[in-house]
Amino acid sequence: MIQPVILCGGSGTRLWPLSRKAFPKQFVPLLNNKSLLQLTLERVAQLGDGATQVMCVAADEHRFLVTEAMQAAKVSGTVILEPAARNTAAAMALAALAVKSEQLLLFCPADHHIPNAQAFAAMVEQGVAAAGQGAIVTFGVVPSFPSTAYGYIQQGQSRPDGSHAVARFIEKPTADKAQALILQGDVLWNAGIFLCRADALLKALGQHAPDILAHCQQAMTGATHDQAFIRPEPQAFNACRAESIDFAVMEHHADVAVVPFCGAWSDVGSWNAVAELSQPDAEGNRTQGQAHTLHARNTFVHAPHRPVVALGTQDLLIVDTPDAVLVVAASHAELVKDVVNHLIQQGVAQASAHRHTARPWGAYDSIDAGDRFQVKRIIVKPGAQLSLQMHHHRAEHWIVVKGTAEVTCGEKTFLLTENQSTYIPLGTVHRLKNPGKTSLELIEVQSGSYLGEDDIVRFEDVYGRVISLTAKEQNGEPPCPEWLAGTKSGESTLACADLNQIEEDK
Protein backbone atom coordinates (compact mmCIF):
# COMPACT_ATOMS: atom_id res chain seq x y z
CA MET A 1 0.00 0.00 0.00
CA ILE A 2 1.19 3.51 -0.82
CA GLN A 3 1.56 6.02 2.03
CA PRO A 4 0.78 9.54 0.74
CA VAL A 5 2.88 12.28 2.34
CA ILE A 6 1.65 15.83 1.81
CA LEU A 7 4.34 18.50 2.09
CA CYS A 8 2.53 21.50 3.56
CA GLY A 9 5.38 23.99 3.84
CA GLY A 10 5.82 27.17 1.85
CA SER A 11 4.84 30.78 2.47
CA GLY A 12 2.97 31.40 -0.77
CA THR A 13 4.05 35.04 -1.08
CA ARG A 14 3.48 35.00 -4.85
CA LEU A 15 -0.27 34.98 -4.18
CA TRP A 16 -0.26 37.99 -1.85
CA PRO A 17 -2.55 39.54 -0.63
CA LEU A 18 -4.74 36.43 -0.47
CA SER A 19 -1.88 34.22 0.70
CA ARG A 20 0.37 35.42 3.53
CA LYS A 21 2.93 33.94 5.89
CA ALA A 22 0.31 33.32 8.58
CA PHE A 23 -2.11 31.82 6.03
CA PRO A 24 -0.18 30.37 3.04
CA LYS A 25 -1.81 29.57 -0.29
CA GLN A 26 -2.28 25.85 0.42
CA PHE A 27 -4.86 26.78 3.11
CA VAL A 28 -6.69 29.49 1.13
CA PRO A 29 -10.11 28.49 -0.31
CA LEU A 30 -9.36 29.01 -4.00
CA LEU A 31 -11.68 26.60 -5.82
CA ASN A 32 -15.34 26.02 -4.93
CA ASN A 33 -14.59 27.11 -1.37
CA LYS A 34 -11.97 24.37 -1.04
CA SER A 35 -8.28 24.89 -0.35
CA LEU A 36 -5.56 23.34 -2.47
CA LEU A 37 -4.57 21.23 0.54
CA GLN A 38 -8.10 19.87 0.91
CA LEU A 39 -8.22 19.05 -2.81
CA THR A 40 -4.83 17.33 -2.56
CA LEU A 41 -6.00 15.26 0.42
CA GLU A 42 -9.17 14.24 -1.43
CA ARG A 43 -7.09 13.27 -4.46
CA VAL A 44 -4.62 11.02 -2.64
CA ALA A 45 -7.43 9.49 -0.57
CA GLN A 46 -8.70 7.86 -3.75
CA LEU A 47 -5.53 5.84 -4.20
CA GLY A 48 -5.73 2.14 -3.48
CA ASP A 49 -8.80 0.86 -1.65
CA GLY A 50 -10.00 4.28 -0.53
CA ALA A 51 -8.99 3.70 3.12
CA THR A 52 -5.67 5.52 2.77
CA GLN A 53 -4.05 6.98 5.87
CA VAL A 54 -2.44 10.30 4.99
CA MET A 55 0.70 11.80 6.50
CA CYS A 56 1.31 15.56 6.42
CA VAL A 57 4.52 17.45 7.16
CA ALA A 58 3.73 21.00 8.22
CA ALA A 59 4.90 23.95 10.28
CA ASP A 60 3.92 23.80 13.93
CA GLU A 61 2.11 27.15 13.62
CA HIS A 62 -0.16 25.70 10.90
CA ARG A 63 -1.07 22.46 12.69
CA PHE A 64 -4.73 23.32 13.22
CA LEU A 65 -5.14 24.54 9.64
CA VAL A 66 -3.86 21.13 8.51
CA THR A 67 -6.18 19.18 10.80
CA GLU A 68 -9.16 21.29 9.65
CA ALA A 69 -8.31 20.48 6.02
CA MET A 70 -8.04 16.78 6.88
CA GLN A 71 -11.43 16.87 8.57
CA ALA A 72 -12.96 18.68 5.58
CA ALA A 73 -11.47 16.07 3.22
CA LYS A 74 -12.68 13.27 5.51
CA VAL A 75 -9.25 11.66 5.82
CA SER A 76 -7.26 10.62 8.87
CA GLY A 77 -3.59 10.17 9.54
CA THR A 78 -0.52 11.69 11.12
CA VAL A 79 0.93 15.21 11.09
CA ILE A 80 4.67 15.74 11.56
CA LEU A 81 5.24 19.25 12.90
CA GLU A 82 8.46 20.92 11.82
CA PRO A 83 9.88 23.28 14.47
CA ALA A 84 11.32 25.40 11.63
CA ALA A 85 11.21 25.50 7.84
CA ARG A 86 14.08 23.44 6.40
CA ASN A 87 12.85 22.77 2.84
CA THR A 88 11.85 19.48 1.22
CA ALA A 89 14.93 17.32 1.87
CA ALA A 90 14.49 17.48 5.64
CA ALA A 91 10.69 17.23 5.45
CA MET A 92 10.88 14.07 3.34
CA ALA A 93 13.55 12.61 5.64
CA LEU A 94 11.26 13.05 8.66
CA ALA A 95 8.47 11.18 6.89
CA ALA A 96 10.76 8.34 5.80
CA LEU A 97 12.05 7.95 9.36
CA ALA A 98 8.50 7.75 10.71
CA VAL A 99 7.48 4.62 8.75
CA LYS A 100 8.75 1.10 8.10
CA SER A 101 11.74 0.80 5.80
CA GLU A 102 9.88 -1.02 3.01
CA GLN A 103 6.95 1.44 2.95
CA LEU A 104 6.22 3.08 -0.42
CA LEU A 105 5.94 6.84 0.08
CA LEU A 106 4.23 9.22 -2.34
CA PHE A 107 5.40 12.79 -1.71
CA CYS A 108 3.00 15.47 -2.98
CA PRO A 109 3.14 19.26 -2.59
CA ALA A 110 0.05 20.59 -0.84
CA ASP A 111 -0.47 23.51 -3.22
CA HIS A 112 -0.77 21.90 -6.67
CA HIS A 113 -3.99 21.64 -8.67
CA ILE A 114 -4.65 18.38 -10.57
CA PRO A 115 -8.34 18.27 -11.51
CA ASN A 116 -8.40 14.68 -12.83
CA ALA A 117 -7.93 12.39 -9.83
CA GLN A 118 -8.18 9.23 -11.95
CA ALA A 119 -5.41 10.38 -14.29
CA PHE A 120 -3.32 11.20 -11.24
CA ALA A 121 -3.88 7.72 -9.78
CA ALA A 122 -2.94 6.12 -13.11
CA MET A 123 0.28 8.13 -13.19
CA VAL A 124 1.21 6.97 -9.69
CA GLU A 125 0.50 3.36 -10.61
CA GLN A 126 2.96 3.63 -13.52
CA GLY A 127 5.74 4.40 -11.06
CA VAL A 128 5.09 1.61 -8.56
CA ALA A 129 7.26 -1.02 -10.27
CA ALA A 130 10.33 1.20 -10.46
CA ALA A 131 9.89 2.45 -6.90
CA GLY A 132 9.40 -1.08 -5.60
CA GLN A 133 12.77 -2.04 -7.09
CA GLY A 134 14.54 0.77 -5.22
CA ALA A 135 14.45 3.68 -7.65
CA ILE A 136 13.37 7.16 -6.65
CA VAL A 137 10.59 7.97 -9.10
CA THR A 138 9.81 11.54 -10.04
CA PHE A 139 6.85 12.62 -12.12
CA GLY A 140 7.04 15.13 -14.94
CA VAL A 141 4.22 16.98 -16.66
CA VAL A 142 4.13 16.97 -20.46
CA PRO A 143 4.61 20.71 -21.18
CA SER A 144 1.93 22.64 -23.04
CA PHE A 145 3.97 25.80 -23.59
CA PRO A 146 7.58 27.02 -23.04
CA SER A 147 7.26 28.08 -19.41
CA THR A 148 10.03 29.95 -17.61
CA ALA A 149 8.36 29.37 -14.23
CA TYR A 150 9.10 25.63 -13.99
CA GLY A 151 12.18 23.47 -13.86
CA TYR A 152 12.49 20.73 -16.50
CA ILE A 153 13.43 17.05 -16.56
CA GLN A 154 15.09 15.58 -19.65
CA GLN A 155 14.10 11.97 -20.20
CA GLY A 156 16.76 9.38 -20.89
CA GLN A 157 16.49 5.78 -22.03
CA SER A 158 13.46 3.60 -21.36
CA ARG A 159 13.66 1.29 -18.36
CA PRO A 160 12.28 -2.27 -18.22
CA ASP A 161 9.80 -1.19 -15.51
CA GLY A 162 8.01 1.16 -17.93
CA SER A 163 9.58 4.41 -16.72
CA HIS A 164 12.48 6.40 -18.17
CA ALA A 165 15.87 7.17 -16.76
CA VAL A 166 16.50 10.83 -15.95
CA ALA A 167 19.13 12.30 -18.26
CA ARG A 168 19.34 15.58 -16.34
CA PHE A 169 17.44 18.14 -14.30
CA ILE A 170 17.24 21.64 -15.77
CA GLU A 171 16.68 24.76 -13.66
CA LYS A 172 14.07 27.36 -14.65
CA PRO A 173 15.21 28.49 -18.12
CA THR A 174 15.06 31.77 -19.98
CA ALA A 175 12.31 32.20 -22.57
CA ASP A 176 14.63 31.31 -25.47
CA LYS A 177 15.97 28.27 -23.65
CA ALA A 178 12.46 27.12 -22.73
CA GLN A 179 11.41 27.33 -26.38
CA ALA A 180 14.43 25.25 -27.43
CA LEU A 181 13.69 22.65 -24.74
CA ILE A 182 10.11 22.26 -25.89
CA LEU A 183 11.26 21.69 -29.47
CA GLN A 184 13.51 18.83 -28.29
CA GLY A 185 10.42 16.81 -27.42
CA ASP A 186 12.06 14.85 -24.59
CA VAL A 187 11.57 17.22 -21.64
CA LEU A 188 8.92 17.43 -18.93
CA TRP A 189 8.03 20.06 -16.35
CA ASN A 190 9.34 19.07 -12.93
CA ALA A 191 6.18 18.53 -10.86
CA GLY A 192 7.96 17.96 -7.55
CA ILE A 193 6.06 14.70 -6.91
CA PHE A 194 8.08 11.64 -5.85
CA LEU A 195 7.43 7.94 -5.19
CA CYS A 196 9.98 5.73 -3.45
CA ARG A 197 10.59 3.23 -0.67
CA ALA A 198 11.47 4.82 2.66
CA ASP A 199 14.77 2.92 2.85
CA ALA A 200 15.72 3.98 -0.70
CA LEU A 201 15.26 7.65 0.18
CA LEU A 202 17.18 7.33 3.44
CA LYS A 203 20.02 5.54 1.64
CA ALA A 204 20.18 8.30 -0.97
CA LEU A 205 20.22 10.97 1.72
CA GLY A 206 23.02 9.11 3.48
CA GLN A 207 25.04 9.16 0.25
CA HIS A 208 24.44 12.75 -0.85
CA ALA A 209 23.29 14.69 2.23
CA PRO A 210 24.47 12.77 5.32
CA ASP A 211 24.34 15.86 7.52
CA ILE A 212 20.64 16.41 6.78
CA LEU A 213 19.89 12.77 7.49
CA ALA A 214 21.86 12.82 10.77
CA HIS A 215 20.01 15.87 12.08
CA CYS A 216 16.65 14.40 11.14
CA GLN A 217 17.49 11.05 12.74
CA GLN A 218 18.43 12.82 15.94
CA ALA A 219 15.27 14.93 15.81
CA MET A 220 13.03 11.90 15.30
CA THR A 221 14.79 9.90 18.02
CA GLY A 222 13.88 12.65 20.46
CA ALA A 223 10.40 13.25 18.98
CA THR A 224 7.33 13.49 21.17
CA HIS A 225 3.88 12.20 20.21
CA ASP A 226 0.70 14.13 20.94
CA GLN A 227 -2.36 12.32 19.58
CA ALA A 228 -2.00 12.61 15.77
CA PHE A 229 0.96 15.02 16.02
CA ILE A 230 4.62 14.00 15.90
CA ARG A 231 6.94 16.73 17.14
CA PRO A 232 10.62 16.27 16.20
CA GLU A 233 13.13 17.42 18.81
CA PRO A 234 13.55 21.16 18.03
CA GLN A 235 17.24 21.71 18.76
CA ALA A 236 18.44 18.91 16.49
CA PHE A 237 16.06 19.83 13.67
CA ASN A 238 16.79 23.54 13.84
CA ALA A 239 20.48 22.74 13.35
CA CYS A 240 19.67 21.06 10.01
CA ARG A 241 20.49 23.04 6.88
CA ALA A 242 17.69 23.99 4.51
CA GLU A 243 17.94 22.31 1.10
CA SER A 244 15.49 21.12 -1.53
CA ILE A 245 15.39 17.42 -2.34
CA ASP A 246 16.30 18.27 -5.94
CA PHE A 247 19.61 19.90 -4.98
CA ALA A 248 20.35 17.59 -2.05
CA VAL A 249 19.66 14.25 -3.75
CA MET A 250 17.97 14.11 -7.15
CA GLU A 251 20.61 15.89 -9.20
CA HIS A 252 23.31 13.55 -7.83
CA HIS A 253 21.59 10.19 -7.41
CA ALA A 254 22.10 7.44 -10.00
CA ASP A 255 18.87 5.49 -9.66
CA VAL A 256 16.22 8.12 -10.48
CA ALA A 257 13.34 7.32 -12.83
CA VAL A 258 10.74 9.61 -14.37
CA VAL A 259 7.14 8.95 -15.38
CA PRO A 260 5.28 11.44 -17.60
CA PHE A 261 1.89 12.89 -16.76
CA CYS A 262 -0.32 14.07 -19.63
CA GLY A 263 -3.19 15.54 -17.59
CA ALA A 264 -3.91 19.10 -16.50
CA TRP A 265 -1.57 20.34 -13.76
CA SER A 266 -0.68 23.65 -12.17
CA ASP A 267 1.46 24.59 -9.22
CA VAL A 268 -0.76 27.68 -8.83
CA GLY A 269 2.41 29.67 -8.39
CA SER A 270 1.21 33.07 -9.58
CA TRP A 271 -1.95 35.09 -10.05
CA ASN A 272 -1.78 34.28 -13.75
CA ALA A 273 -2.05 30.60 -12.80
CA VAL A 274 -5.00 31.34 -10.50
CA ALA A 275 -6.72 33.27 -13.27
CA GLU A 276 -6.38 30.32 -15.62
CA LEU A 277 -8.47 28.22 -13.24
CA SER A 278 -11.52 30.35 -14.22
CA GLN A 279 -13.31 30.32 -17.56
CA PRO A 280 -12.77 33.50 -19.64
CA ASP A 281 -15.55 35.49 -21.28
CA ALA A 282 -15.50 36.55 -24.94
CA GLU A 283 -13.03 39.37 -24.14
CA GLY A 284 -10.69 37.13 -22.17
CA ASN A 285 -11.82 38.50 -18.79
CA ARG A 286 -12.00 36.17 -15.81
CA THR A 287 -13.90 37.11 -12.68
CA GLN A 288 -14.53 35.69 -9.22
CA GLY A 289 -17.03 36.81 -6.60
CA GLN A 290 -18.55 40.28 -6.99
CA ALA A 291 -16.31 41.32 -9.89
CA HIS A 292 -17.53 43.28 -12.92
CA THR A 293 -15.71 44.17 -16.14
CA LEU A 294 -16.77 46.81 -18.69
CA HIS A 295 -14.87 47.58 -21.90
CA ALA A 296 -12.06 45.46 -20.45
CA ARG A 297 -9.86 42.82 -22.04
CA ASN A 298 -7.77 40.02 -20.53
CA THR A 299 -8.44 41.25 -17.01
CA PHE A 300 -8.73 39.02 -13.94
CA VAL A 301 -10.65 40.30 -10.91
CA HIS A 302 -10.85 38.44 -7.59
CA ALA A 303 -13.51 40.14 -5.46
CA PRO A 304 -15.15 37.85 -2.87
CA HIS A 305 -16.16 40.55 -0.38
CA ARG A 306 -17.53 43.58 -2.25
CA PRO A 307 -18.23 44.85 -5.77
CA VAL A 308 -15.06 45.62 -7.72
CA VAL A 309 -15.33 47.12 -11.21
CA ALA A 310 -12.62 47.05 -13.89
CA LEU A 311 -13.44 49.68 -16.53
CA GLY A 312 -11.40 49.92 -19.74
CA THR A 313 -8.56 47.80 -18.36
CA GLN A 314 -6.31 45.43 -20.27
CA ASP A 315 -3.93 42.68 -19.19
CA LEU A 316 -4.42 43.39 -15.48
CA LEU A 317 -4.75 41.24 -12.37
CA ILE A 318 -6.87 42.79 -9.60
CA VAL A 319 -7.11 41.06 -6.21
CA ASP A 320 -9.28 42.54 -3.46
CA THR A 321 -9.20 41.47 0.20
CA PRO A 322 -10.68 43.17 3.29
CA ASP A 323 -7.39 44.85 4.22
CA ALA A 324 -5.27 45.04 1.04
CA VAL A 325 -5.69 45.41 -2.74
CA LEU A 326 -3.26 44.31 -5.45
CA VAL A 327 -3.34 45.72 -8.99
CA VAL A 328 -0.61 44.24 -11.19
CA ALA A 329 0.14 43.96 -14.88
CA ALA A 330 -0.19 40.34 -15.95
CA SER A 331 3.39 40.50 -17.27
CA HIS A 332 4.65 41.28 -13.74
CA ALA A 333 2.78 38.57 -11.83
CA GLU A 334 5.99 36.69 -11.00
CA LEU A 335 7.28 39.76 -9.12
CA VAL A 336 4.56 39.86 -6.46
CA LYS A 337 6.96 38.31 -3.97
CA ASP A 338 9.09 41.45 -4.34
CA VAL A 339 6.07 43.49 -3.25
CA VAL A 340 5.84 41.42 -0.08
CA ASN A 341 9.52 41.98 0.69
CA HIS A 342 9.04 45.72 0.15
CA LEU A 343 6.05 45.84 2.51
CA ILE A 344 7.93 43.87 5.17
CA GLN A 345 10.81 46.35 4.98
CA GLN A 346 8.30 49.18 5.37
CA GLY A 347 6.81 47.53 8.45
CA VAL A 348 3.38 46.96 6.90
CA ALA A 349 1.56 44.35 8.97
CA GLN A 350 -0.59 43.22 6.03
CA ALA A 351 2.52 41.83 4.37
CA SER A 352 2.38 38.77 6.62
CA ALA A 353 -0.92 38.64 8.51
CA HIS A 354 -4.58 38.74 7.52
CA ARG A 355 -7.29 40.71 9.24
CA HIS A 356 -9.06 37.36 9.47
CA THR A 357 -7.02 35.05 11.70
CA ALA A 358 -7.60 31.31 12.09
CA ARG A 359 -7.41 29.69 15.52
CA PRO A 360 -7.89 26.04 16.59
CA TRP A 361 -11.24 26.98 18.16
CA GLY A 362 -12.45 29.02 15.15
CA ALA A 363 -11.35 32.45 13.95
CA TYR A 364 -11.46 36.17 14.62
CA ASP A 365 -11.73 39.16 12.31
CA SER A 366 -10.22 42.49 13.37
CA ILE A 367 -13.01 44.85 12.29
CA ASP A 368 -11.75 48.19 13.61
CA ALA A 369 -9.06 49.69 15.84
CA GLY A 370 -8.11 53.07 17.23
CA ASP A 371 -6.55 54.77 20.21
CA ARG A 372 -7.22 52.52 23.24
CA PHE A 373 -9.88 50.39 21.53
CA GLN A 374 -10.19 47.44 19.15
CA VAL A 375 -13.23 45.62 17.75
CA LYS A 376 -13.19 41.94 16.71
CA ARG A 377 -15.76 39.53 15.33
CA ILE A 378 -15.15 36.16 16.99
CA ILE A 379 -16.41 32.83 15.63
CA VAL A 380 -16.23 29.73 17.83
CA LYS A 381 -16.85 26.28 16.35
CA PRO A 382 -19.46 23.99 17.96
CA GLY A 383 -18.07 22.36 21.09
CA ALA A 384 -14.87 24.46 20.97
CA GLN A 385 -13.52 26.71 23.69
CA LEU A 386 -10.85 29.36 24.11
CA SER A 387 -8.15 28.99 26.74
CA LEU A 388 -8.67 30.00 30.36
CA GLN A 389 -6.85 33.33 30.39
CA MET A 390 -6.49 36.90 31.60
CA HIS A 391 -5.09 40.20 30.32
CA HIS A 392 -2.91 42.74 32.14
CA HIS A 393 -3.78 45.79 30.07
CA ARG A 394 -7.28 45.50 28.62
CA ALA A 395 -10.91 44.89 29.50
CA GLU A 396 -13.40 43.32 27.09
CA HIS A 397 -17.11 43.60 26.25
CA TRP A 398 -18.75 40.60 24.53
CA ILE A 399 -22.04 40.85 22.59
CA VAL A 400 -23.48 37.57 21.28
CA VAL A 401 -24.98 37.92 17.79
CA LYS A 402 -25.47 34.23 16.93
CA GLY A 403 -25.60 31.01 18.95
CA THR A 404 -25.05 30.44 22.66
CA ALA A 405 -21.97 31.29 24.70
CA GLU A 406 -20.83 29.73 27.96
CA VAL A 407 -18.85 32.41 29.78
CA THR A 408 -16.49 31.96 32.70
CA CYS A 409 -15.73 35.30 34.35
CA GLY A 410 -13.89 35.08 37.65
CA GLU A 411 -15.83 32.72 39.93
CA LYS A 412 -19.00 32.78 37.82
CA THR A 413 -20.00 30.63 34.83
CA PHE A 414 -23.17 31.52 32.92
CA LEU A 415 -24.86 31.36 29.50
CA LEU A 416 -25.43 34.18 27.03
CA THR A 417 -27.75 33.97 24.03
CA GLU A 418 -28.31 36.25 21.05
CA ASN A 419 -28.47 39.99 21.83
CA GLN A 420 -27.09 39.47 25.33
CA SER A 421 -23.74 40.86 26.48
CA THR A 422 -21.22 40.78 29.33
CA TYR A 423 -18.16 42.66 30.59
CA ILE A 424 -14.76 41.11 31.36
CA PRO A 425 -12.84 43.46 33.70
CA LEU A 426 -9.10 43.96 33.31
CA GLY A 427 -7.14 41.29 35.16
CA THR A 428 -10.06 38.87 35.50
CA VAL A 429 -9.58 35.21 34.62
CA HIS A 430 -12.07 34.26 31.91
CA ARG A 431 -12.99 31.74 29.24
CA LEU A 432 -15.38 31.54 26.29
CA LYS A 433 -16.98 28.26 25.19
CA ASN A 434 -19.53 27.24 22.57
CA PRO A 435 -21.74 24.53 24.13
CA GLY A 436 -24.08 24.40 21.14
CA LYS A 437 -24.20 22.51 17.84
CA THR A 438 -23.98 25.62 15.63
CA SER A 439 -21.29 28.26 15.36
CA LEU A 440 -21.11 30.95 18.02
CA GLU A 441 -20.53 34.51 16.78
CA LEU A 442 -19.92 37.52 18.97
CA ILE A 443 -18.54 41.03 18.79
CA GLU A 444 -15.69 41.77 21.17
CA VAL A 445 -14.83 45.36 22.07
CA GLN A 446 -11.43 45.69 23.73
CA SER A 447 -10.41 48.81 25.65
CA GLY A 448 -7.22 49.58 27.50
CA SER A 449 -3.72 51.02 27.43
CA TYR A 450 -2.24 48.17 25.36
CA LEU A 451 -4.12 45.91 22.94
CA GLY A 452 -1.30 43.80 21.49
CA GLU A 453 -1.76 40.11 20.76
CA ASP A 454 0.88 39.21 23.34
CA ASP A 455 -1.08 40.57 26.32
CA ILE A 456 -2.38 37.22 27.44
CA VAL A 457 -1.73 34.88 30.34
CA ARG A 458 -2.96 31.37 29.59
CA PHE A 459 -3.77 28.96 32.46
CA GLU A 460 -5.52 26.04 30.73
CA ASP A 461 -5.83 25.06 27.08
CA VAL A 462 -7.41 22.00 25.45
CA TYR A 463 -5.33 22.44 22.28
CA GLY A 464 -1.91 21.87 23.83
CA ARG A 465 -0.73 25.45 23.43
CA VAL A 466 1.81 27.04 25.75
CA ILE A 467 0.65 27.59 29.33
CA SER A 468 2.00 30.66 31.17
CA LEU A 469 3.80 29.83 34.41
CA THR A 470 4.36 31.86 37.55
CA ALA A 471 7.71 32.03 39.21
CA LYS A 472 6.33 29.79 41.98
CA GLU A 473 5.27 27.09 39.53
CA GLN A 474 8.62 27.21 37.76
CA ASN A 475 10.17 26.33 41.13
CA GLY A 476 7.78 23.42 41.58
CA GLU A 477 5.38 25.23 43.96
CA PRO A 478 1.59 25.23 43.49
CA PRO A 479 0.05 28.16 41.58
CA CYS A 480 -1.49 31.15 43.30
CA PRO A 481 -5.12 30.65 44.32
CA GLU A 482 -5.80 34.18 43.01
CA TRP A 483 -5.34 32.89 39.45
CA LEU A 484 -8.63 31.07 39.39
CA ALA A 485 -10.48 33.31 41.86
CA GLY A 486 -10.81 36.27 39.51
CA THR A 487 -11.26 39.83 40.72
CA LYS A 488 -14.34 41.84 41.53
CA SER A 489 -12.77 45.29 41.55
CA GLY A 490 -11.60 45.17 37.93
CA GLU A 491 -7.96 45.45 39.00
CA SER A 492 -5.49 42.61 38.81
CA THR A 493 -4.78 40.95 42.18
CA LEU A 494 -2.34 38.40 40.77
CA ALA A 495 0.38 38.89 43.35
CA CYS A 496 2.50 36.15 41.80
CA ALA A 497 2.15 37.35 38.20
CA ASP A 498 5.77 36.88 37.23
CA LEU A 499 4.52 35.57 33.91
CA ASN A 500 5.92 34.45 30.61
CA GLN A 501 4.09 36.25 27.83
CA ILE A 502 3.31 34.33 24.71
CA GLU A 503 2.66 35.50 21.19
CA GLU A 504 -0.55 33.67 20.27
CA ASP A 505 -3.67 35.49 21.46
CA LYS A 506 -6.84 33.79 22.77
Residue 470 has pLDDT above 70, yes or no: no
Instruction: Specify the pLDDT at position 188.
Output: 94
Q: Which residue segments constitute the domains of the chain, with CATH numbers given?
A: 2-261 (3.90.550.10), 279-345 (no CATH), 356-485 (2.60.120.10)
Residue 426 pLDDT level (bands cut at 50, 70, 90)? very high
**Which residue, 305, 281, 306, 276, is CA-closest to 293?**
281
- Per-residue pLDDT band for 503 (boundaries 50, 70, 90) equals very low
Compute the average pLDDT of residues 338-354. Answer: 91
* Predicted pLDDT at 346: 94
pLDDT attached to residue 358: 82
The C-alpha atoms of residue 133 and residue 257 are separated, in whole angstroms, by 11
Range in 41-50, 208-217, 378-387, 488-497 with the lowest mean pLDDT: 488-497
SS3 string of 141-177?
A: ECCCCCCCCCCEEEEEEECCCCCEEEEEEECCCCHHH
| Of the candidate ranges 8-17, 286-295, 482-491, the one whose mean pLDDT is the lowest | 482-491
Does residue 223 register a pLDDT over 50?
Answer: yes
Asked whether the predicted pLDDT for residue 269 surpasses 90, the reply is no
**pLDDT tens digit string along 70-103?**
999 999 999 999 999 999 999 999 999 999 999 9
Q: Measured between alpha carbons, how far is 322 from 304 in angstroms, rounded to an integer?
A: 9
Q: Has residue 491 got a pLDDT over 60?
A: no
Least trusted range by pLDDT, from 162-166, 169-173, 313-317, 349-353: 349-353
Residue ranges with strand state E in 267-410: 286-294, 300-311, 316-320, 325-329, 356-359, 362-370, 373-380, 388-390, 394-402, 405-409
Distance CA 246, CA 248 (A): 6
d(CA 314, CA 297): 5
Q: Which of 200-209, 227-236, 391-400, 448-457 has the lowest mean pLDDT?
A: 448-457
Q: Which whole number is the average pLDDT over 322-350?
A: 93
| pLDDT for 336 | 93
Quick one: pLDDT at residue 475?
Answer: 39
End-to-end alpha-carbon separation of the chain, Å?
Answer: 41
Mean pLDDT over all residues of the chain? 89
Whether the per-residue pLDDT at 469 is higher than 80: the answer is no
25-58 pLDDT, tens per residue? 899 888 888 999 999 999 998 886 655 789 999 9
Q: Which of 292, 285, 289, 336 is nearest to 314 (CA)?
A: 285
Higher pLDDT, 473 or 95: 95
The pLDDT of residue 476 is above 50 = no
Residue with the larger pLDDT of the pair 318 and 497 = 318
Looking at residue 463, its pLDDT comes to 81
The amino acid that residue 234 corresponds to is: P
**Is the model more confident about 147 or about 409?**
409
Confidence at residue 50, expressed as pLDDT on a 0 to 100 scale = 55
pLDDT computed for residue 21 by the predictor: 83
Percent above pLDDT 70 for the chain: 91
pLDDT in tens, 95-134: 999 999 999 999 999 999 999 999 999 999 999 999 999 9
Query: Which CA distances in Å does 426 have to 94, 355, 365, 451?
Result: 44, 24, 22, 12
